[in-house]
Copies of this chain bind each other. A is one copy, B any other.
Amino acid sequence: MTDASSSTRRTVRVELGDRSYDILIGPGLIAAAGSEIAARLKGRRIAVVTDEHVGPIYLDPFMRSLSTSGIEAVSLVLPAGEKTKGFEHLMAVCDSVLGARIERNDAVVALGGGVIGDLTGFAAGVVRRGSRFIQVPTSLLAQVDSSVGGKTGINSRHGKNLIGVFHQPDLVLADTDVLDTLSQREFRAGYAEVAKYGLIDKPDFFSWLETNWREIFAGGPARIEAIATSCQAKADVVAADERENGPRALLNLGHTFGHALEAATGYDSSRLVHGEGVSIGMVLAHQFSARMNLASPDAARRVEAHLTEVGLPVSMTQIPGDLPPAERLMDAIAQDKKVKSGKLTFILTRGIGQSFVADDVPASEVLSFLKDKYPR
């Protein structure tokens, strides 16, 4: 850890009483992981879970950093991709953590993107009915969204993230250097979640993104600023509503449509990744809000223009391959977990940065909207 790294580093605190924790954001945090963890953890054993994309690049330096700080670690490398988020790999992670004799003061570490974080966090949440957990997110999506807030889980054939627990991490280390090794497509997908925070309730941040997005993509201070602003936005929502009984639902802007599209494409990342689904979903949510006369069509057009400019898909017609009939997409929407007594809950908007939870959206309106938008 150089002086330069620590001077540009930002810390966001997630306030949750005796389960509060820090998110450290900045360059060089993988190399500094051992000392940051050793300073906070009573135990001296760690089980690291990563995948076949991240492992070959970052597992060695991460393990060296732990070892230098006197932490013993074992590692498990899983296949990369959304399909890893299932029972089979959950079982493998639990078995590996128990086999490593991780005790209550030790920790389980997720070194990877959202898939590794969600799966490993779920395992940490159920091994011994709850073990310490550290997130080292290596994708932009994971840094600004999935590694913060304690939602963990796996997919079911009935839908995405339908099985899981709330289990807060004890620490998040977001090393911004690792984002340089992401593909443009992956970086863009994470950017969709950054833009989401603006669209929820930060119109000034969205305007700032419209002006500065090139600098965020290129790296440097604007990137760290965008990540810190996103983490702070999520931390604020989580502190106010940890279990998603109220305002936390706003974080699902674009996600109800997005999840349904991911299910409809069989979680095949060659066709659609999560952030792309969210991008299309956010545009659909703004268009649907306009159709319901809640917002001006200009807001939807502005969202569509910005996401198009950064290279994200904004319409179902941009998804390669065939989609199932609109009715099957509706089934996936109805099965999504944001359903109460048969009524559909959606995040809709009154304009840029003016999103709200609508919990009585008529299914028939959604279906007829989808049919209009459908690529056939």
Contacts and interface: CB of A to CB of B under 8 A. Distances in A.
Given A91-B87, A95-B157, A157-B95, A162 B127 contact: yes
Interface centre among A99, A165, A342 (most CB of B within 10 A): A165
Interface string A100-119: 01011100000000000000
A263 B122 CA distance: 25
A64 interface: no
B164 A151 contact: no
Interface in A315-348: 335, 337, 339-342
Nearest to A88: B87
Interface string A124-138: 011111100000000
A105 B158 contact: no
A103 B165 contact: no
A225 to B, nearest CB: 32
A127 B340 contact: no
A38 interface: no
Given A43-B341, A98-B156, A162 B105 contact: no
A31 to B, nearest CB: 28
Contacts of A127: 162-163
A98 B103 CA distance: 33
Interface centre among A98, A129, A339 (most CB of B within 10 A): A129
How many copies altogether? 2
A214 interface: no
Contacts of A91: 87
A94 interface: yes
B156 A95 contact: yes
Interface string A335-366: 10101111000000000000000000000000
B340 A103 contact: yes
Nearest to A245: B104
B166 A95 contact: no
A118 to B, nearest CB: 11
A153 interface: yes
A91 B99 CA distance: 22
A162 B341 contact: no
Nearest to A334: B101
Contacts of A164: 126, 129
Interface in A150-179: 151, 153, 156-159, 162-166
Nearest to A129: B164
Interface in A47-106: 87, 90-91, 94-95, 98-99, 101, 103-105
Contacts of A371: none
A185 interface: no
A87 B125 CA distance: 15
Interface centre among A43, A104, A162, A163 (most CB of B within 10 A): A163
A373 interface: no
Nearest to A126: B163
| Nearest 3 pairs of A and B residues by beta carbon | A98-B158, A87-B91, A128-B337
6 contacts: A99-B158, A103-B339, A105-B341, A129-B151, A129-B153, A130-B165
